[in-house]
């Protein structure tokens, strides 16, 4: 059983038990354009909700990726470091950035549902 | 993550190709007072690589075109380029200097065969100021006629000559920096074998009303893809070419900007241009900082504004930086204290609080492929 929620900074987070997977949305990947570099957090690093956790750079510009929820980094998507274009190919799947454990459920509940995020993007 | 800045409410100008950009799916952004396509659906990476592989079509109609009539030699008052020595049918690169010897703009000037006026092209964001300055400095001796109504297309890449030859038979006889009047797809044009990508190619000046038809004819050729400002920037950076307002501006002079080659040989001995005393003194006695090419050693790009350090001490700043699709890695240019400007000097780029190793590298980063003969 998993659920995916979204931030107004265009991150998504999928929660399975107390483990979360974080990435950037399709909307964000398209806005950025071709991704050429990602900087991912070290395993074991503790991040707070809304804290800067990763960097994504396209040919055009660099952007920070904020962790939608607090937790401890359990894994970073090493495949992206070798092939950053994976973010564009499948932003909300294989193009995930990092996983967190010991996630605070309260952080997750505050985020937008898929339907709410779709509405939010429509209004941009 | 951060969202891109939204369009401002300032009213923006449009080039004659605006409707075509929209039709082609161009992502329009404000640039130098114009609404311009930063990319098309193919994206910056593909557009960049396609230009180096085949041919790309760029709308550069936002740039400032003008004709300078009367005493054209008076242009030498504001540029250290050799104007009077420019032969018919040739184009030349020039720097427009302030009276302090700093760079007000860079521009191209052409002497068309059998025509007295010079044809000028200056940068988009500076065009009104440039033309006001040239007009004021040259006073009544010369007359400047801006032609903001004209369009300018650039066709760049190894297939550019074969493509343009189909629409303008004989045009591929031009060599690098030659310029001529010609007919392109039935439209009267000024065509030069020039560009700002490091590739072979042409710039085509047209009446605004003819621009869309000629652009469509070029895009109708199998090798040609429309290219936005994003790839234009990565192409010119790989080619080691300066972007005005970033890699040079009114705070630097031609010696600091490493553009001494743009000072004519005769002008070095004679002077007589705005800021000549300062510039010639710096030529002789050296400068405190210099523009250099920089190759980061990792994969992380260092963007404009990144501080450059040596052994922890700040020695300069990146003025253009990003990712080079043909280089397949990050690249930058910037200014460093002259003692650290030598090729191979090891630098640190301060990116997000970390010192990333980099080295001073020769430019261009990707070899130029101009057709010189």
In order, the DSSP letters of A52-91 are: EEEEEEESS-EEEEE-SS-EEEEEE-HHHHH-TTHHHH-T
pLDDT over threshold 50, residue B325: yes
pLDDT over threshold 50, residue B238: yes
Average pLDDT over residues B87-102: 98
Residue of chain B whose Cα is closest to the Cα of A11? B1
> What is the pLDDT, as a whole number, of residue B2?
52
CA distance B55 to B78: 35
Per-residue pLDDT of chain A (124 residues; tens, 9 = 90+): 689 999 999 999 999 988 999 999 999 999 999 999 999 999 999 999 999 999 999 998 899 999 999 999 999 999 999 999 999 999 999 999 999 999 988 899 999 999 999 999 999 8
Average pLDDT over residues B269-297: 97
Average pLDDT over residues B35-62: 97
Q: What is the CATH number of the domain that holds B89?
A: 3.30.70.1400
pLDDT over threshold 80, residue B356: yes
**B324: chain A residues, CB-CB within 8 Å:** none
pLDDT in tens, B95-150: 999 999 999 999 999 999 999 999 999 999 999 999 999 999 998 789 999 999 99
User: Residue B326 is part of which domain span?
Assistant: 288-373
Does A112 reach chain B within 8 Å, measured CB to CB? no
> What is the pLDDT, as a whole number, of residue B1?
58
**A124: chain B residues, CB-CB within 8 Å:** 3
> What is the pLDDT, as a whole number, of residue A18?
87
> What is the pLDDT, as a whole number, of residue B246?
97
CB contact under 8 A, A37 and B301: yes
The alpha carbon torsion through B369, B40, B61, B80 (nearest 10 deg) reads -40
Q: Do B52 and B82 belong to one domain?
A: no
Does residue B13 fall inside a structural domain?
no
Final residue before a domain boundary, out of B208, B238, B268? B238
Does residue B261 fall inside a structural domain?
yes
Say which residue, B346 or A124, is predicted with more confidence: B346
> What is the pLDDT, as a whole number, of residue B11?
87
Does residue B11 fall inside a structural domain?
no
> What is the pLDDT, as a whole number, of residue B8?
47
Q: What is the DSSP string of B178-230?
A: BEEEEEETTEEEEEES--SSSSSEEEEEE-HHHHHHHHHHHHTSTTEEE--HH
pLDDT cut 70: percent of chain B above it:
97
Q: What is the CATH number of the domain that holds B310?
A: 2.40.30.110
In angstroms, what separates the C-alpha of A19 from chain B's closest C-alpha? 21
Q: In what order do the strands lie in the sheet with A11-16?
A: A3-6, A11-16, A19-24, A98-101, A71-76, A46-47
Name the phi and psi angles at B106, rounded to 5: -120, 155
B244 close to B125: Cβ distance less than 8 angstroms:
yes
Q: Do B169 and B313 belong to one domain?
A: no
Does A11 reach chain B within 8 Å, measured CB to CB? yes
Q: Do B119 and B133 belong to one domain?
A: yes
Domains in chain A with CATH codes: 3-101 (2.40.50.100)
Give the pLDDT band of residue B313 (cuts 50, 70, 90): very high
Q: Which of A33, A39, A56 sits opposite B1 (nearest CB)?
A: A56
Does residue B29 fall inside a structural domain?
yes
In angstroms, what separates the C-alpha of A10 from chain B's closest C-alpha? 6
Into how many domains does chain B fold?
Answer: 3
Q: Which of B1, B230, B300 sits opposite A59 (nearest CB)?
A: B230
Greatest Cα pair distance, chain B, in angstroms, is: 61
Average pLDDT over residues B15-23: 98
Cis peptide before B349 (omega within 30 of 0): no
In angstroms, what separates the C-alpha of B206 from chain A's closest C-alpha? 30
Average pLDDT over residues B255-260: 98
pLDDT cut 90: percent of chain B above it:
96
In angstroms, what separates the C-alpha of B212 from chain A's closest C-alpha? 27
Predicted TM-score of the model (pTM): 0.94
Does A34 reach chain B within 8 Å, measured CB to CB? yes
Residue of chain B whose Cα is closest to the Cα of A51? B1
> What is the pLDDT, as a whole number, of residue B7?
47
């Amino acid at each position: 059983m998993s659920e995916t929620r979204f931030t107004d900074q265009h991150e998504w987070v999928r929660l399975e038990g107390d483990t979360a997977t974080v990435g950037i949305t399709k909307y964000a990947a398209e806005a950025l354009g071709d991704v050429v570099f990602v900087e991912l957090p070290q395993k074991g690093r503790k991040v707070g909700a809304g804290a800067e956790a990763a960097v994504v750079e396209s040919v055009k510009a660099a952007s920070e990726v904020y962790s939608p929820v607090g937790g401890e980094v359990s894994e970073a998507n090493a495949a992206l470091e070798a092939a950053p274009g994976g973010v564009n190919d499948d932003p909300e799947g294989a193009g995930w950035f990092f996983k967190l454990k010991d996630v605070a459920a309260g952080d997750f509940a505050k985020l937008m549902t898929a339907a709410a995020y779709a509405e939010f993007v429509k209004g941009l | 993550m951060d969202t891109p800045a939204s369009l401002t409410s300032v009213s923006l100008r449009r080039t004659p190709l605006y409707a075509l950009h929209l039709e082609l799916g161009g992502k329009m952004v404000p640039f130098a007072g114009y609404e311009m396509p930063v990319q098309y659906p193919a994206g910056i990476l593909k557009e960049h690589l396609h230009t180096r592989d085949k041919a790309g079509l760029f709308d550069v109609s936002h740039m400032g075109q003008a004709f300078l009539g009367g005493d054209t030699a008076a242009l030498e008052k504001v540029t250290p380029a050799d104007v009077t020595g420019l032969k018919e049918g040739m184009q030349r690169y020039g720097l427009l200097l302030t009276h302090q010897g700093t760079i007000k703009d860079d521009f191209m000037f052409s002497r068309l065969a059998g025509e007295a006026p010079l044809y000028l092209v200056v940068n988009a964001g500076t065009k009104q100021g440039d033309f006001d300055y040239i007009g004021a400095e040259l006073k009544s001796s010369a007359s400047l006629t801006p032609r903001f109504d004209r369009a300018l297309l650039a066709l760049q890449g190894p297939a550019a000559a074969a493509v343009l030859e189909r629409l303008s038979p004989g045009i591929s006889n031009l060599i690098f920096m030659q310029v001529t009047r010609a007919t392109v797809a039935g439209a009267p044009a000024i065509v030069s074998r020039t560009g700002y990508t490091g590739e072979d190619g042409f710039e085509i000046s047209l009446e605004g009303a003819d621009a869309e038809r000629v652009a469509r004819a070029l895009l109708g050729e199998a090798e040609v893809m429309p290219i936005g400002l994003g790839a234009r920037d990565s192409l010119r950076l790989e080619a080691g070419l300066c972007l005005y307002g970033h890699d040079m501006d009114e705070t630097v002079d031609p010696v600091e900007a490493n553009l001494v080659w743009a000072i004519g040989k005769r002008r070095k001995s004679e002077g007589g241009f705005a800021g000549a005393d300062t510039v010639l003194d710096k030529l002789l006695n050296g400068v405190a900082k210099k523009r250099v090419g920089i190759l980061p050693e990792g994969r992380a790009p260092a963007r404009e504004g990144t501080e450059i350090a040596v052994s922890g001490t700040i020695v300069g700043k990146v003025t253009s930086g990003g990712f080079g699709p043909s280089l397949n890695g990050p690249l930058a240019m910037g200014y460093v204290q002259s003692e650290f400007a030598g090729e191979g000097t090891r630098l640190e780029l301060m990116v997000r609080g970390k010192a990333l190793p980099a080295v001073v590298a020769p430019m261009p980063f990707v070899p130029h492929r101009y057709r010189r003969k």
